Chains A and B, each alone.
Chain A
Amino acid sequence: MDQAEVMERVVKILTPWVKNEEALASVSMDTNILEDLKVNSARLVDVVIAFEDDFDIEIADEDVDSVNKVGDAVKLILEKLG
């Protein structure tokens, strides 16, 4: 799976939780999930569960702490996929 495909799936998973539609329209690897997309921080645990289900991977709590931007999530998922 390449980066573009992972990116597309990550954005699809984030979409229901996004409060800033404009930021979503121009989303990139540098887009901040909480600050730009305005995803409620409490909902990040739901996003991580969806990542795990969609990509069939396991993400440890410590790994989640390093995810701020969309690109951080994409890179973490690519790493887990090996």
Chain B
Amino acid sequence: MSANARRVVVTGLGVIAPNGNGVADFGQALRKGSSGIRYIPQMEESKFACRVAGAPQGVDELAQANFAEDELLAMNMSHRYASLAALEAWRDAGFERPDPDAAEPDWDTGAILGTGIGGMDTTGEKVIPLTDAGKVRRLGSTSVEQVMASGISARVSGQLALGNQVTTNSSACSTGTEAIAMGAGRIQQGLAERMLCGGSEAASHYIWAGFDAMRVLNRESNDAPEKASRPMSASAAGFVPGAGAGVLMLESLDAALARGARIHAEVKGSAINCGGHRGGGSMTAPNPASVRRCVQGALADAGTRGSEIDLISGHLTATYADPHEVGAWSDALGRGPNDFPTIVSTKSLVGHTLGAAGAIESVASVLMLEGGFAHPSINCEDVHPEIAAFDDAIPHQGRDLPNLRTVIKAGFGFGDVNACLVFQKWDS
């Protein structure tokens, strides 16, 4: 962040995750190291090789308790996840839900809520079958708003009367991380006081099918769902698909202090870049130089040295790339195995929630920062031999970190895109 830029803090958190809905339950699941991965009958029915996933539970009941009947008729799964997480972040930030009949939107508050794939559940269950059957008319009025990429941010803007920029970003698996970096930038520029930022991804076999066909999902743990997501392990055999939403209320420090808001953490710095499918990068693999530049760019923006990082929340999906990623962190931070910060993969607990991953994992990062702990990074008892020297940095059982001050979080996505955030503890 440049010297003159405005400081940005986190004043609200909201989450819908496979191992817990709401920040309180999710926080407890993190502490315990509870897995949210389950057997999914539909994946077997569709002859997936991988038949386990991280799908949030009980969301329809929560949605029915919070949204009007006509709204629910137009809210597919990613809308429900995003709306619930945004409403929780809004209330956590100390705001009341606006009156539906209020005349004025909040011109100073906007949203950047991303998705990797979008309303594929609506496309698969309604748009394609009805269109192919010659029954276009029966799509009714609600299909466009559920399949348009910006549907989730548009939905939330109506629920919360947001009057600043409202948009949806999409950058594959770095989407959620990128949304937070973009929202922080808008506040730093003085263009908004508050931005609800994060990502949402539905639980749908239509979304997961292509990944199964690519053979990047773990097909070897169908009989042991909670053991299936194995980042950093020698037995990692692909990622486990997941779903959910995470939303952070970002706010200018000035606005937060002026209204006496409770501050969870500071967004100290961020960076976004792309490897351009060069130097070893491709549609599906990261250019190592771009990863290093992104991490170092976020550190420079934060004014933080690599030696000051206490905890890494990695991208770490449980593919062949994990050892490369740990090596990239080591290079970028200038920290070898004997001096390496604690490193966790939240995906070991919730799977890879695609466009929501960076957002859910950022909520987890802020909770760890506030609580002074690292959640257990499970299922890597057999740490991968290429990173055996880093084993001490992995909290297999969870770890108290009373002096935790700085967390770095990165997301890397198909398309060779990267985003990185530095969160710092807020000392009131």
Contact = CB atoms under 8 A, between A and B. Distances in A.
A25 B292 CA distance: 64
Interface in B120-156: 137-138, 140-142
Contacts of B141: 42-46
A41 to B, nearest CB: 9
B140 A45 contact: yes
B130 to A, nearest CB: 11
A82 interface: no
Interface string A40-80: 10111110010000000000000000000000000000000
Contacts of B142: 43, 46
B138 A16 contact: no
A43 B140 CA distance: 8
Contacts of B73: 16, 46
Contacts of A16: 69-70, 73
A49 B69 contact: no
Contacts of A44: 141
Contacts of A40: 70
A42 to B, nearest CB: 5
Interface residues of B, number: 8
Contact of A17 (B70, B137, B138): B70
A19 B137 CA distance: 25
A58 to B, nearest CB: 10
A42 B144 CA distance: 12
- Which of B70, B73, B138, B142 neighbours the largest number of chain A CB atoms within 10 Å of its CB? B70
Interface string A10-44: 00000111110000000000000000000010111
A46 B139 CA distance: 8
Contacts of A45: 137, 140-141
B65 to A, nearest CB: 16
Contact of A43 (B70, B137, B138): B70
A18 B73 CA distance: 13
Contacts of A18: 70
A74 B352 CA distance: 51
Contacts of B138: 49
B187 to A, nearest CB: 33
Contacts of A49: 137-138, 140
Contacts of A43: 70, 141-142
A18 B141 CA distance: 16
Contact of B140 (A15, A19, A46): A46
A34 to B, nearest CB: 14
A42 B74 CA distance: 12
Contacts of A19: 70
A17 B72 CA distance: 10
Interface in B227-260: none
B60 to A, nearest CB: 16
Interface in B52-81: 69-70, 73
Nearest to B100: A19
Nearest to B144: A42
Nearest to A44: B141
B273 to A, nearest CB: 40
B135 to A, nearest CB: 10
A46 B73 CA distance: 10
Interface in B66-121: 69-70, 73
Given A43-B142, A46-B140, 7 more contacts: A15-B69, A16-B70, A40-B70, A43-B70, A44-B141, A45-B137, A46-B73
23 contacts: A15-B69, A16-B69, A16-B70, A16-B73, A17-B70, A18-B70, A19-B70, A40-B70, A42-B141, A43-B70, A43-B141, A43-B142, A44-B141, A45-B137, A45-B140, A45-B141, A46-B73, A46-B140, A46-B141, A46-B142, A49-B137, A49-B138, A49-B140
Interface of A: 15-19, 40, 42-46, 49
The 9 closest A-B CB pairs, nearest first, are: A16-B69, A46-B140, A42-B141, A17-B70, A45-B141, A16-B70, A46-B141, A43-B141, A45-B140
